[in-house]
Amino acid sequence: MDDDRPIAPKPAPVLAPADLDRLSVDEIEARILLLREEIARLERAKAAKIASRDAAHSVFKF
């Protein structure tokens, strides 16, 4: 294997599963909004890490 980094543990769930039957429509909509915001935050973090990795690769590429 070319990659000597240790295998990272699986990330912990951000949100514990809830009994959706007990939630109102408004509560479900609020939960969806929060999840969409979290997904957007994760996408931004992913893009930043990819850009950083690509920049490092370009510096060390021969």
Provide the residue ranges of all domains of the chain, joining segments of one domain with +. 20-60
Q: Which residues of the chain have pLDDT under 70?
A: 1-3, 12-15, 62
Alpha helices in 1-62 (DSSP H): 25-60
Lookup: tokens for 29? 């909509």
Stated pTM of the model: 0.66
Q: What is the dihedral of CA 15, 20, 26, 32, to 10 degrees?
A: 40
